[in-house]
Amino acid sequence: MSDSGTSQQADEAAGSAGGSPPRGRDLRTALMQPDGWRLERRLEVRPTYELYATVIALAITAVLIGLLVLLVGVSPFDAFSSLYEGAFGDRESALETLVQSTPLILTGLAAAVAFRAGVWNIGGQGQFIAGAIGTFFVYDMFPGLPAPLLIVAMLVGAAVFGAIWATVASVLLVRYNTNEILTTVMLNFVIDYFLSWLLSGVWQASNTPYSQTERMAENTYLPRFFDDSRLHWGFAIALIAAAFVHFMMRRTSMGFEFRAIGVNKRAASYKGINTAVSIVAVMAVSGALAGLAGAGELLGLHHRINFEFGEQQIGFTGIIIALVARLHPVGVIAVAIAFAGLVNGATQMQISTGIPAALVTVIEGVALVLVLVAAVACRYRLRRGAVHADESAEGSE
């Protein structure tokens, strides 16, 4: 069907309608001012639109960043290719990218799970720290445990601590209806200070002026996959966690309830879903995932907690990843790896082109905003408003 001249036709058709009710035409003419371009809600939103929209958003991100790079006087091609080289160019850097993606997958999942249930857990960062604290706590408490058991106990400790920290916010939410966005953000600060207190007090390593713990015993190190890479079992744990999340959300009664409160909390409660319990449960799962991220970093890479431990803002990046991935667990893996690649490649880019590695933060931010815009935008379409050239003539019929 032809799109051209349609509003014109519609107009003529309407205009030729004689004998209409007295208050009809003049008013419509007055109200329907031509106003150029306008947005209209699409009634049919196909799932493929959303995918396209996301891809387009990412492409626009690349273009914008390219322009920015150009502005600094560097060829975007050089910048992107060095970025890519640094991220995935060879085996070493690709594996390192996976190393970096490990905690991001977990905190991304943490955010995705909570957001699916309509609970805005912005406290992934705090729960990440809580997880590390939990890990070290178990290490500190049970020095005699044999290594495999100890590692399992530490992972459990991390999950439990992360969950508990998230539960503080969820209990406040269900008991006193406090806004979880505010409480989770505040709790991030609280645990930061608590960690500082631990690092300069009970857990401070002896004979050092630094705020840091002892280095953990070697038998607590997460095994590595290869001799030439830091890639550790944490990555496998993250993949398993993604599978678990997918299974939980799609195949279990509990996940069903989580999604239900996320879609329509009112109907969920009419249908006898205990929304308070679901909120507490989903926050606990979310916190546990973020906590595991903390354990992975500690046991796989750092082996001691120091004041720099939370500096990479893994928890916050996880939120962005979850949103860019549109809350899908598989998407979270992909986006986390891409983001890790950016971080990893940025160093290479800085060395070979002089562009500051901080550009990565800009890329992440732009990508987030554009993907979110795309998510909304694919429900709309842009079109040209009708032009009423001969409105005034109509009344004379």
Q: Whole-number minimum distance, CB 11 to other proteins, in Å? A: 7
Stretch of 8-16, 124-132, 185-193, 291-299 contacting other proteins, by CB under 8 A: 8-16
Stretch of 157-165, 262-270, 313-321, 354-362 contacting other proteins, by CB under 8 A: 262-270
Q: What is the 3-state secondary structure (H, E, C) of 83-143?
A: HHHHHHCCHHHHHHHHHHHHHHHHHHHHHHHHHHCCCCCCCHHHHHHHHHHHHHHHHHHCC
Cα 166 to Cα 129: distance, rounded to the nearest angstrom:
12
Cα 160 to Cα 135: distance, rounded to the nearest angstrom:
10
270 sits near other proteins (criterion: CB under 8 A): yes
Stretch of 27-35, 293-301, 347-355, 357-365 contacting other proteins, by CB under 8 A: 27-35
Residue at token pair 């910048």: 79
What does the block give as tokens for 249? 């959300």
379 sits near other proteins (criterion: CB under 8 A): no
Toward other proteins, which CB reaches closer, 74 or 285?
285
Toward other proteins, which CB reaches closer, 27 or 63?
27
Which of the residues 278 through 297 are near other proteins (CB under 8 A)? none
Site string for other proteins, 334-373 (x = CB under 8 A): ----------------------------------------
What does the block give as tokens for 19? 């004998």
Stretch of 5-13, 69-77, 298-306, 311-319 contacting other proteins, by CB under 8 A: 5-13
Toward other proteins, which CB reaches closer, 8 or 347?
8
Stretch of 57-65, 173-181, 250-258, 283-291 contacting other proteins, by CB under 8 A: 250-258
What does the block give as tokens for 319? 């939120």
51 sits near other proteins (criterion: CB under 8 A): no
11 sits near other proteins (criterion: CB under 8 A): yes
Closest CA to 113 of 340, 234, 281: 281
Long-range own/partner contacts, residues 26-34 (CB < 8 A, 24 or more apart) = 26/395, 29/388, 29/391, 29/394, 29/395, 32/386, 32/388, 33/388, 34/385, 34/386, 34/387, 34/388
48 sits near other proteins (criterion: CB under 8 A): no
Listing DSSP states for 361-397 in one string gives: HHHHHHHHHHHHHHHHHTTEEEEEPP--TTHHHHTT-
Toward other proteins, which CB reaches closer, 130 or 174?
174
What is the contact surface with other proteins in residues (CB under 8 A)? 1-3, 6-7, 9-14, 16-17, 19-28, 31-33, 35, 40, 43-44, 251-254, 256-257, 259-260, 263-264, 266-274, 383, 386
